[in-house]
A and B are shown apart, each in its own frame.
Chain A
Amino acid sequence: MRFSKQIYALVEKDIIAELRSKEILNAMVIFVIITFVILSFGLSDILKANLKVDLEAVLLAGILWLAFAFAAVLGLNRSFVHEKDEGCMDGLLLAPLDRSLIFFAKFISNLIFLLTVQFISIFVFAVFFLKDGFYQKFWILIAAIILGDLGISAVGTLLSAIAVNGKARDLLLPILFFPMIIPVYLSLIPLTKYAFLSTAKLADVSGLMQFLAVYDIVFLVVPFIVFDFIVED
């Protein structure tokens, strides 16, 4: 109960600060929309061509997660900046709470920001890229977003805490982050592909979903062990 109140306080603080400054959400949403616009023009000939359904679905999944991954880095890069620049991390380190809660709360805040951006931009994606109707298997898209975001936020929050102490932190996070999420993307893009295929069945996606779930669990557990060492010095 005590832990949940402390996590709530940490997340609430992040959300109030973001709603006031809007520096993370605005940057992420604008970036995603610009990416969709550029790719819709750049790939217009390919998208108009009579591609195989399977190939078109992979292309759409790739476009979607390309935009989301880069937008996530923009947001994650800022996630510990206030704590670092305003010296607030020391205030958190002094508080009587398990330091892994600082990670967990920041993970939740990052997840909320990422989901918010995706909720807004998914409609823009539909306008630019989906020809007829909406997604064929909406539940697969929801599962892909949840499983993908858990992994992206967990890895990103951990690496953001490491990168924020570096001199070139804006460069350091992408360099660390993208190699670490390659396994997520190797499952996430095929999984999302099935959201655009009317023939998709649970058996097609269950293996991919299991892999993502295991990845998420690993990267939610590891920070609980190492976060104390990362933030202390």
Chain B
Amino acid sequence: MAQALIKADNITKKFGRRIVLNNVNFEIEKGDCLTIFGPNGVGKTTLIRILSTMMSPTKGDVIVEGQKAAMDPIKVRRQIGVISHNPFLYAELTAYENLRFYGKLYQVSDIDNRIDELLELVELSERKHDVVGTFSKGMMQRISIARALLHKPTILFLDEPHSGLDPHAAEILDNTVKQLRKDNTTLIMATHNLDKGLQLASRVIILSPKGIVLNERANNIDASKIRQVYLDSLRN
């Protein structure tokens, strides 16, 4: 087995006395598409926040390319992009200003061309100089896709990315994710949408309040079994 690109090593997260994640362990190889299923409130977003170095675990480590992420989080963050249900965009700035701002933080070279390229990808070139506060939720999410891809991340986290998307925005997201999959980008998606999640997954994890109840390669297990385990985890 190849060296894991990302390894969750005994990750535990507590908020006060409440244990949100308890000894979570798994590995992801380069180019994998891991889908994390689980009901609301089970800790999917917390897990994504910990894996993407936004938040520190109470116990355990995130290991990226054999090195603890906490040792050099800035290096890890350069490789990471996140598409969340929250677009991380400033309502008073235009689409271009938002993307240029994040581009500067990530030190993206030839930033204007990269912005044009991404706005074309998300089909919002004509709204480049419009203030983001005037955009619909779907349009904001499309700009958010562009924001996440600005620095050409090799690892992309998607946290409930289809939440609140109109069909057009969802189609753009799905096409982008498929293309990234072809480009060997490692994808980690948290969702409770079984159909969307299973379309792309090469590995599936089901998270329940008790912890991980299933961790399998998607081709080793059929969709009906995954559905069954998922539904059982909701009932228990």
**Which one of A8, A9, A17, A90 contacts B84 once the chains associate, using CB atoms below 8 Å?**
A90
A-side contacts of B97, CB under 8 Å: 13, 16
- Cβ A96 vs Cβ B106 within 8 A: yes
Q: Does B104 contact A (CB under 8 A)?
A: yes
How many residues of B are in contact with the other chain, CB < 8 A? 31
Contacts of B106 in A (CB 8 A): 95-96
Nearest neighbor of A21 in chain B, beta-carbon distance = B92
Extra contacts, 5 of them, besides A6-B107, A20-B131, A94-B80 (Cβ < 8 A), are: A9-B104, A82-B91, A94-B88, A96-B77, A96-B78
Interface centre among A20, A21, A82 (most CB of B within 10 A): A20
* Interfacial residues of chain B within 34-86, with CB under 8 A of chain A in the complex: 49, 52-56, 74-75, 77-78, 80, 82, 84, 86
Q: In the bound complex, do residue A233 and residue B80 qualify as a contact, i.e. CB atoms below 8 Å apart?
A: no
**What are the nearest 8 A-B pairs in CB distance?**
A91-B88, A87-B86, A9-B104, A17-B92, A95-B105, A96-B77, A20-B92, A96-B78
Min CB distance, B159 to chain A, in Å? Answer: 10
The answer to whether B90 and A17 have CB atoms under 8 Å apart is yes
**A residues within 8 Å of B by Cβ?**
2, 5-6, 8-10, 12-13, 16-17, 20-21, 82, 86-88, 90-98, 232-233
A94 touches B90 (CB 8 A): no
List the A side residues contacting B7 at CB < 8 Å.
Answer: none
Knowing A13-B93, A20-B131, A90-B54, say if A96 contacts B88 (CB, 8 Å): no
Closest to B105 in A: A95
CB nearest to B15 among chain A residues: A233
Set of chain A residues within 8 Å of B93, measured between Cβ atoms? 13, 16-17, 20
- Report the Cα distance A8→B100, complex, angstroms: 12
For B151, the closest partner residue in chain A by CB is A96
**Assuming the A-B contacts A5-B107, A20-B92, A96-B106, are A87 and B87 also in contact, with contact meaning beta carbons closer than 8 angstroms in the complex?**
yes
Whether a CB of chain A sits under 8 angstroms from the CB of B142 is: no
Q: Is the interface of A mostly helix, strand, loop or mixed?
A: helix
Q: CB of B135 within 8 A of chain A?
A: no
Most buried by B among A10, A17, A90, A94: A94
Are B54 and A13 in contact (CB-based, < 8 A)? no
A94 near B77 with CB under 8 A, answer: yes
Which residue of chain B is the closest to A228 with respect to CB atoms? B56
A49-B53 Cα distance, complex, nearest whole Å = 64
Which of chain A's residues have a CB closer than 8 A to the CB of B107? 2, 5-6, 96
Minimum C-beta distance from A26 to chain B (A): 14
- B window 86-127: CB within 8 A of A: 86-93, 97, 101-102, 104-107
Q: How far is the CA of A93 from the CA of B54 in the complex (A)?
A: 6
Contact B74–A98 (Cβ < 8 Å): yes
A6 neighbours in B (Cβ, 8 Å) = 104-105, 107
A88:B92 contact, CB within 8 angstroms: no
Hey, which chain A residues are within 8 Å of B203, CB to CB? none
Chain A neighbourhood of B101, CB < 8 A: 9, 12-13
| Interchain CB contact under 8 A, A90 and B91 | no
Contact across chains for B55 and A91 when beta carbons are under 8 A apart: no
B147 within 8 A of partner (CB): yes
Q: A5-B104, A20-B131 are in contact. Are A94 and B54 (CB under 8 A)?
A: yes
Shortest CB-to-CB span from A165 to chain B, Å, is: 13
In the complex, chain A residues whose CB is within 8 Å of the CB of B78: 96
Q: Can you sample 15 A-B contacts with CB below 8 Å? A: A8-B104, A10-B105, A13-B90, A20-B93, A20-B131, A21-B92, A82-B91, A86-B91, A87-B86, A90-B86, A91-B88, A94-B77, A96-B74, A96-B106, A97-B105
B contact residues around A94 at 8 Å (CB): 52-54, 77, 80, 82, 88
Query: Which of A2, A5, A9 has the largest number of chain B CB atoms within 10 A?
Result: A9
From 10 to 51 in chain B, residues with beta carbon under 8 angstroms from any chain A beta carbon are 15, 49
Q: Are B88 and A88 in contact (CB under 8 A)?
A: yes
Provide the bound-state CA to CA distance between A95 and B103, in Å: 10
For A88, what are the chain B residues with a Cβ–Cβ distance below 8 Å?
88-90
Contacting pair B77 A95 (CB below 8 A): yes
Provide the B137-168 mask, 1 if CB < 8 A to any CB of A, else 0.
00000000001000000000000000000000
| Cross-interface CB contact of A232 among B15, B56, B87, cutoff 8 Å | B56
In the complex, what residue of chain A is closest to B73 when comparing beta carbons?
A96
Residue of A nearest to B87 (CB): A87
Distance A96 CA – B91 CA, assembled complex (angstroms): 22
Closest to B97 in A: A16
